[in-house]
């Protein structure tokens, strides 16, 4: 039996790392958002897949939340000298990941196979899969018009007001084959929705019909961790986006957002006063410390989440 | 009035550099072989264009003959760790050139416009143009079958026996627009065929009908420098290829090869004994020192070639 973790980039990958410390590789499959993926300078870049992979490989850059630790920058400097676009920063080592991904995709390999190869090459034993092998592109609706996600997120620094999101391709996308196999064989005993941005990181995954349908099945517990603590997002634009969408940023709002799929929600001690309101939505809460700074934080929260999901923890070195 | 230099990579770019020291930017246009170009790891790589550009920019790596001097290699190392193909070595700074080229080509810019931008960004004032904006792919016929050029040249180290070459796309290719404009306006007062490999570096250029027709016009002097010295090529597989094609490597054979287009051929003092035989082909010879090691060698040979072509030399700092 397997635990399915659903995640975006930085925030979610912390819990995914914690889960990987408690479950053996055959008991965890991590499905990652691909709505942020884009082709840049001819390279296929998958930011969330890479963040999860680098994090599980211990290669992540904790200062940026993206890229490889201690990477070097000669290509970016030379690109700047050539007048090329440098708003999306690509370190020398990180570029190798994109080159090899682009090469394999061009040779006809599906993204899930490419991802498995890259992760294995980085020493990752747990299964990291794109939510789908079909392209999904998150488009941000703003007063400036529809913006490709990375233009909004990185080039424009999330400044434009968000009016909505579209996940182009999601409706016709199928779950990645390894994920579909888990569904078909009834192997998933619990789903953990990691504390990534629900609107831009988790939503493109849930927008895939095969995944949405599975999450709505009542027999599999779906546990999530609120990415909002004390009305703020720990990192990234989640709170800003919520306000722009007319939603007061709170764990209660997260519970409302997820109420049709999530059975249990972890909220931070800072939000303890919202327990009763969340309960009224039919969502059970666990109050915990959800801010993950150290590896011990990540493992502890992952352990608590697994316990609440009714999952036995493996003995791993 | 303008001098047209026709060149491949390493050997030819030495003379092209010499020419650039003697002619102002408006009096020199350098048309470069694109038959070696290929798409690798999703990047469009144009080895000869880059060698000429880096050489004129003073950025070339004299030890390898390709790439940028003092480049660093983190991307290649990381690519190797990912199990990617590393037989074609790409330094970090060099990769920036390919990324920006690939980006601009994907945005719809023709190769000549991309090349002009890259060269200008590197500080090159003289015009470097691809022989054509249409793709030309050199294919090597060998006992192993037809091989893409870089597979033969780099991956297999020129080991397979050459039975012939095809320049796929050349027959339907048009000269690059800047070159065609020079032709149309009658601006070319002389053509210099640089001492690159006649069979793989110069032949794909001459295979373009619009260039071939121009070179055959009797009114424009076409001067070349033999890449064979004392029966050997200074660098690269020219002599090996000639033997495999059933041709005894010599300056005489080069003169025969070029006899329908070249009016004057520079040969090295080591080949002085071939002057009379070459004269019998209707090709005038100048015996000189054609081995270019120092910048003084390059400028001196360029000066001698220009004098023989009847070209006035500019006063350049």
Write out pLDDT tens, residues B170-226: 999 999 999 999 999 999 999 999 999 999 999 999 999 999 999 999 899 999 999
Whose tokens are 């888990």? That residue is: A182
pLDDT at A296: 95
- Residue A285 pairs in a beta bridge with A265
Look at B41 and A103 and tell me if their CB atoms are within 8 Å: yes
- Tokens 């923890």: give the residue: A313
The Cα B24–Cα B206 span in angstroms is 25
pLDDT for res A186: 96
Question: Which of A38, A41, A57, A61 should one mutate to test binding to chain B, selecting the residue with the greatest count of B CBs within 10 A?
Answer: A41
Residues in chain B closer than 8 A to A102 (CB atoms)? 41-42
> Does ipTM top 0.95?
no
Can you say whether residue A169 is alpha, beta or left, with left for phi > 0 and alpha for psi between -120 and 50 degrees? left
Bridge partner residues of B147 (DSSP): B140
Distance CA A290, CA A267 (A): 7
Taking the Cβ of residue A44 and every Cβ of chain B, the question of whether any pair is shorter than 8 Å is answered with yes
Out of B84, B99, B117, the one facing A96 most closely (by C-beta) is B84
Nearest CA in chain A to B93: A75
Give the SS3 label for residue A258. Answer: helix
Q: What is the mean pLDDT of residues A54-66?
A: 93
User: In this complex, is the C-beta atom of B72 within 8 Å of any C-beta atom belonging to chain A?
Assistant: yes
Compare all CA atoms of chain A with the CA of B95 and give the residue at the minimum distance.
A75
Mean pLDDT of B83-106: 97
Residue B234 is predicted with a pLDDT of 80
Calculate mean pLDDT across residues A262-283: 96
**Is the pLDDT reported for residue A206 higher than 80?**
yes
Mean pLDDT value of segment B137-143: 98
| Partner residue facing B42 (CB), from A75, A94, A102 | A102
Integer angstrom CA distances of residue A136 from A160, A168, A191: 22, 5, 22
Of A71, A82, A122, the CB nearest to B96: A82
Task: Give the gap in angstroms from C-alpha A195 to the nearest C-alpha of chain B.
Answer: 29
pLDDT in tens, B148-174: 999 999 999 999 999 999 999 999 999
A287 CB within 8 Å of a chain B CB? no
Shortest distance, CA A61 to any CA of chain B (angstroms): 16
Distance from the B290 Cα atom to the nearest Cα atom in chain A, whole angstroms: 34
Helix (H) or strand (E) holding A214: helix A209-215
pLDDT exceeds 90 at position B84: yes
Give tens-digit pLDDT for B117-136: 999 999 999 999 999 999 99
In the predicted structure, residue B317 carries a pLDDT above the cut 60: no
Contact A92 B92 (CB under 8 A): yes
Nearest CA in chain B to A93: B75
| Mean of the per-residue pLDDT values of chain B | 96
C-alpha span between B196 and B15 (Å, rounded)? 10
A279 touches chain B (CB under 8 A): no
Which pLDDT tens digit goes with each residue over B256-285?
Answer: 999 999 999 999 999 999 999 999 999 999
pLDDT at B75: 98
Closest CA to A43 of B212, B62, B41, B227: B41
Query: What is the pLDDT at residue A314?
Result: 78
Mean per-residue pLDDT, A186-195? 97
A284: pLDDT confidence band, cut at 50, 70 and 90? very high
> Using 50, 70 and 90 to split pLDDT, how confident is the model at B316?
low
Any chain A CB within 8 A of the CB of B96? yes
CA distance A188 to chain B (A): 30
Please state, in angstroms and rounded to a whole number, the distance separating the CA atoms of residues B216 and B193. 13
Minimum distance, in Å, between the CA of residue A274 and any CA atom of chain B: 47
Question: How many residues are listed for chain A in this entry?
Answer: 317
Mean pLDDT across chain A, nearest whole number? Answer: 96
Token pair in block for residue A269: 């001690």
pTM assigned to the model: 0.93
- Which of the four pLDDT bands, split at 50, 70 and 90, describes residue A46? very high
Q: Any residues with CB less than 8 A from the CB of B135 and at least 6 apart, and which?
A: B34, B37, B169, B173
Contact A84/B at CB under 8 A: yes
Beta bridge partners of B164: B141
Question: In this predicted structure, what is the pLDDT of residue A317?
Answer: 57
pLDDT digits (tens, 9 = 90+) for B5-50: 999 999 999 999 999 999 999 999 999 999 999 999 999 999 999 9
In this complex, is the C-beta atom of B5 within 8 Å of any C-beta atom belonging to chain A?
Answer: no
Question: Does residue A220 have a pLDDT over 80?
Answer: yes
**Which B residues, 176 through 215, put their C-beta within 8 Å of a C-beta on chain A?**
none
Per-residue pLDDT at B307? 96
Nearest by CB to residue B75, choosing from A84, A96, A103, is A96
Name the band, by pLDDT with cuts 50, 70 and 90, for residue B314. Answer: confident
How far apart, in whole angstroms, are the C-alpha atoms of residue A176 and residue A112?
Answer: 7
Least CB–CB distance from B93: residue in A41, A68, A78: A78
pLDDT tens digit sequence for A118-174: 999 999 999 999 999 999 999 999 999 999 999 999 999 999 999 999 999 999 999
Interface check for B95 against chain A (CB to CB < 8 A): the answer is yes
CB distance from B85 to chain A under 8 Å? yes
DSSP letters for A144-166: TEEEEHHIIIIISTT-SPP-EEE
Residue A111 Cα distances to A65, B60, B166, angstroms: 22, 37, 35
Query: CA of B82: which chain A residue's CA is closest?
Result: A121
Confidence (pLDDT) at A63: 87
pLDDT digits (tens, 9 = 90+) for A69-126: 999 999 999 999 999 999 999 999 999 999 999 999 999 999 999 999 999 999 999 9
Rounded Cα gap, residues B170 and B220, in angstroms: 23
Question: What is the rounded distance in angstroms from the CA atom of residue B116 to the CA atom of residue B114?
Answer: 5
Tens-place pLDDT, residues B47-81: 999 999 999 999 999 888 899 999 999 999 999 99
* Residues A249-268, mean pLDDT to the nearest whole number: 96
Verify whether the Cβ–Cβ distance A84 to B74 is below 8 Å.
no
Report the share of chain B in percent with pLDDT over 90: 94
Give the C-alpha separation, A57 to B82, whole Å.
13
* DSSP state letters, chain B: -EEEEEE-SHHHHHHHHHHHTTS-GGGEEEEE--TT-EEETTEEE-HHHHHHHHHHHT-B-TTTSSSBTT---HHHHHHHHTT---SS---HHHHHHHHHHHHHHHTT--HHHHHHHHHHHTT--SEEEESBSS--EEEEEETTEEEEHHIIIIISTT-SPP-EEEEETGGG--B-HHHHHHHHTT-EEEEEE-SS-IIIIIHHHHTSHHHHHHHT-TTS-EEEE-SEETTEESSSSHHHHHHHTT---SHHHHHHHHTTT-SEEEEEGGGGGGHHHHHTTT-EEEEE-----SHHHHHHHHHHHHHHTTPPPP---
Residue A16: name the closest of A182, A196, A213 by CA.
Answer: A196
Is B4 near chain A, with CB under 8 Å? no
Contacts of A54 (CB under 8 A, 6+ apart): A60, A61, A67, A68, A69, A122
């Amino acid at each position: 039996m397997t635990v399915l973790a659903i995640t975006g980039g930085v925030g979610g990958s912390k819990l995914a790392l914690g889960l990987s410390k408690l479950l053996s590789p055959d008991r965890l499959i991590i499905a990652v958002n691909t709505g942020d993926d884009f082709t840049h300078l001819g390279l296929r870049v998958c930011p969330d897949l890479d963040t999860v992979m680098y994090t599980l490989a211990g290669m992540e850059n904790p200062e940026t939340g993206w890229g490889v630790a201690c990477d070097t920058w000669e290509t970016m400097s030379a690109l700047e000298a050539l007048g090329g676009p440098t708003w999306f920063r690509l370190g020398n080592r990180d570029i190798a990941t994109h080159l090899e991904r682009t090469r394999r995709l061009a040779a006809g390999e599906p993204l899930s196979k490419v991802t498995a190869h890259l992760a294995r090459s980085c020493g990752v034993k747990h299964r990291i899969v794109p939510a789908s092998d079909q392209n999904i592109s998150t488009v941000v609706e703003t007063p400036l018009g529809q913006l490709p996600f990375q233009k909004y997120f990185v080039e424009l620094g999330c400044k434009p007001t968000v009016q909505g999101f579209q996940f182009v391709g999601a409706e016709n996308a199928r779950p990645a084959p390894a994920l579909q196999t888990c569904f078909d064989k009834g192997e998933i005993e619990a789903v953990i929705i990691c504390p990534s941005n629900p609107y831009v990181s988790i939503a493109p995954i849930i927008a895939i019909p095969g995944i949405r349908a599975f999450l709505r099945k009542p027999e599999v517990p779906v546990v999530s961790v609120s990415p909002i603590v004390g009305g703020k997002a720990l990192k990234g634009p989640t709170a800003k986006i919520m306000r722009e969408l007319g939603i007061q940023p709170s764990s209660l709002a997260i519970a409302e957002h997820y109420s049709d799929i999530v059975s249990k929600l972890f909220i931070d001690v800072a939000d303890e006063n919202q327990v009763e309101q969340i309960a009224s939505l039919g969502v059970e809460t666990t109050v915990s410390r959800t801010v993950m700074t150290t590896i011990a934080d990540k493992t502890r929260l992952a352990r608590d989440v697994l316990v609440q999901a009714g999952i036995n923890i493996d003995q791993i070195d």
